[in-house]
Chains A and B, each alone.
Chain A
Amino acid sequence: MRTMGALVKRNVKLFFKDKGMFFTSLITPVILLVLYATFLGNVFRDSFQMNIPETVKLSEELIDGLVGGQLISSILAVSCVTVAFCSNFLMVQDRVNGSIKDLRMSPVKASFLAAGYYVSTLISTLIICFVATGICLLYVAAVGWYMSLSDVLLLMLDVVLLVLFGTALSSIINFFLSTQGQISAVGTIISSGYGFICGAYMPISSFAEGLQKVISFLPGTYGTALIRNHAMQGALAQMELQGVSGQLVESLKDALDCNLYFFGEQVSVGGMYLILGGTVTVLISVYILMNGLKKKQ
């Protein structure tokens, strides 16, 4: 246990000391912030107001709370995965700079080292994502707070699950990487691409139908939807209380990716948890299996 503790401490320290890797992991959330601050926030705000009947008067705070919920859910959904990838690049860095040779000289098994990378990535990513969650909640509180305590707790659970998912996925992909060039390539693809496919930049509902179907096969999508639900359902419920029809609220949920459909069938929140939890279990099992089957040259 102490050995694992020391290994995890080493990995976590290395991640936070490597400023390049640390800031790379925050590129996508920063892009999102800039996009919302410059125009995306206004686009969504105008879009909500246009869709609300003129007979219903919603407060500015409620609209801001909804847009804020959308912003923070996008940031958190992306961060949980991109930060995990960047943090987990340490396993590749160790191969590139030869540190892994030194670690493997010790009597600990390769699978133990692999578990060390997983746990340390999990911890580093959770630290960053929980700090980000705290900042996001403070932002929502400033613009318009409609979340209940259970929403906050479930949001935390969503973050943990999505971090587990991001860590497991990055562990499997990084397992095959061994050069600095590959790190850069995968880092760039994940940082720029994941924001699109998880619907952080634009809602999945605005994509073409074929693309929506493809994306419905990606388990991370359901993690994003969970975060969206728990970040925005308070504001949406308040809308209903202020006179917006249930039908309109449902169509807003569709547009905001709170509701996800798998070949026309709506996936319940419980179903989303099952999909994400099941995927995490499968990915971790695959990672363990890969390490178990890995042979020396």
Chain B
Amino acid sequence: MVDIIQIKDLNKSFGDIHAVQNLSFCVKEGDLFAFLGVNGAGKSTTIHILCGQLQKDSGSVIIDGADIEHCPDDIKCKLGVVFQNSVLDAALCVQDNLQSRAALYGLTGPAFDQRLTELSKLLGFEDLLKRPVGKLSGGQRRRIDIARALIHKPRILILDEPTTGLDPQTRKILWNVIADLRKNEKMTVFLTTHYMEEAAEADYIVILDSGKISAEGTPLELKNKYTADYIMLYGVDEAAVKLLNVEYEQVRDAYRLTVPNTAKATELIVKHPEVFVDYEITKGKMDDVFLNVTGKKLEGGAGK
């Protein structure tokens, strides 16, 4: 697959604060790419540079073969952004909002009407077109934000914490739509999120800390590298668990054993088949990866 976003040696400072330092990574076309970091890690700065809203100090940003410095307008046509907070006009109705934004991409008249029909069906807001955006619920407004980002059929969809504050059902609807877009239109999705289970669905993850990459890889690679495996062991007493000589904790109806990796788990099971009658092996979670990489916990996901 082609690298649709190539960032090399990117630097950006605000006075003495080095928001982004020698950042280099690539995003493959059609991938769901997760960009993680605590607040102030440099995610938003990078996104603003990608979108042409901020000037970089040095380095290069190539999007779909075009340099952001030389062809910013071409690149803007290929990007759709869902901002952390809705930036649509609260006083205007949904249709007026989308119409004014579509016109900025030269999409007017029947072409706009057709696109509006497509998107309202896709995101299920046909009955909201005449409602002022300010009167919509959080979930309804998020759907309109996504429609705005998709209005000009971008190749890359940037989602800046798109599901923060949404109820589980709305989150599910949004992720289903995004999955459809990726499947049917091969859209690349660049995601920042505080929900680690969303990041766990990504094809590739970059974790940013203090403006630098502190870890990157597929979710499996990161889990293998930064977390242990866990064995849930059922139907045994503590004395038997103690004999295994591994770190453990008692949870309801079971003991949770911590082993360095799956190979060690297999070794343990083979060595003590009499103990491992009823058990399951799980990888560590992305929360653990993030905590182990940065030493910090992402705010927002915990409450879920």
Contact = CB atoms under 8 A, between A and B. Distances in A.
A4 B51 CA distance: 22
Contacts of B103: 2-3, 5-7
A161 B271 CA distance: 93
Contacts of A6: 99-100, 102-104, 108
Contacts of A7: 100, 103-104
Contacts of A105: 51, 53, 76, 79, 81
Contacts of A106: 76, 101, 104-105
Interface stretch (A10-18, A184-192, A196-204, A226-234): A10-18
Contact of A14 (B87, B89, B109): B89
Q: From B53, B72, B87, name the one whose CB has the most chain A CB atoms within 10 angstroms.
A: B87
A89 to B, nearest CB: 14
Contacts of B53: 101, 104-105, 296
Contacts of B14: 297
B55 A296 contact: yes
B55 A17 contact: no
Q: From A9, A10, A104, A107, name the one whose CB has the most chain B CB atoms within 10 angstroms.
A: A107
Interface in A83-135: 97-99, 101-109
Contact of A102 (B77, B99, B148): B148
B55 A295 contact: yes
Interface string A284-297: 00000000000111
A14 B92 contact: yes
A98 B87 contact: yes
Given A10-B92, A14-B92, A296-B54, A101 B108 contact: no
Contacts of A103: 101, 104
A107 B104 contact: yes
A13 B92 contact: yes
B73 A102 contact: no
Given A107-B73, A296-B53, A101 B83 contact: yes
A60 to B, nearest CB: 47
A7 B96 CA distance: 11
A199 B122 CA distance: 59
A18 B90 CA distance: 10
Interface residues of B, number: 33
A102 B88 contact: yes
Interface in A200-251: none
Interface string B84-100: 01011111100010011
Contacts of A98: 83, 85, 87
Q: From A3, A106, A297, name the one whose CB has the most chain B CB atoms within 10 angstroms.
A: A106
A99 B88 contact: yes
A106 B51 CA distance: 9
Contacts of B81: 102, 105
Interface in B28-71: 51-55
A9 B148 CA distance: 18
B168 interface: no
Interface in A10-34: 10, 13-14, 17-18
A104 B54 CA distance: 11
Contacts of B89: 10, 14, 99
A42 B106 CA distance: 57
Contacts of A295: 55
A108 B108 contact: no
A107 B77 contact: yes
Q: From A3, A7, A105, name the one whose CB has the most chain B CB atoms within 10 angstroms.
A: A105
B255 to A, nearest CB: 50
A297 B72 CA distance: 15
A186 B4 CA distance: 46
A297 B92 contact: no
A9 B92 CA distance: 11
Nearest to A112: B104
Given A98-B83, A98-B85, A99-B87, A17 B92 contact: yes
B100 A10 contact: yes
A296 B52 CA distance: 9
Contacts of A97: 87, 90
Interface string B201-217: 00000000000000000
A97 B134 CA distance: 13
A297 B88 CA distance: 23
Contacts of B52: 104, 296
B80 to A, nearest CB: 8
A107 B53 CA distance: 11
Contacts of B72: 107
A99 B92 CA distance: 12
Given A6-B103, A10-B100, A18 B91 contact: yes
Contacts of A107: 72-74, 76-77, 104-105
A102 B55 contact: no
The 7 closest A-B pairs by CB, nearest first: A6-B103, A106-B104, A10-B100, A107-B73, A102-B87, A17-B91, A296-B55
Interface of A: 2-3, 5-7, 9-10, 13-14, 17-18, 97-99, 101-109, 295-297
13 contacts: A2-B106, A2-B108, A2-B109, A3-B103, A5-B103, A18-B91, A99-B88, A105-B51, A105-B81, A106-B104, A107-B73, A296-B55, A297-B54
Given A99-B89, A107-B77, 15 more contacts: A3-B104, A5-B103, A6-B108, A10-B92, A10-B96, A10-B100, A14-B89, A101-B83, A106-B104, A106-B105, A107-B73, A107-B105, A108-B104, A109-B73, A296-B52
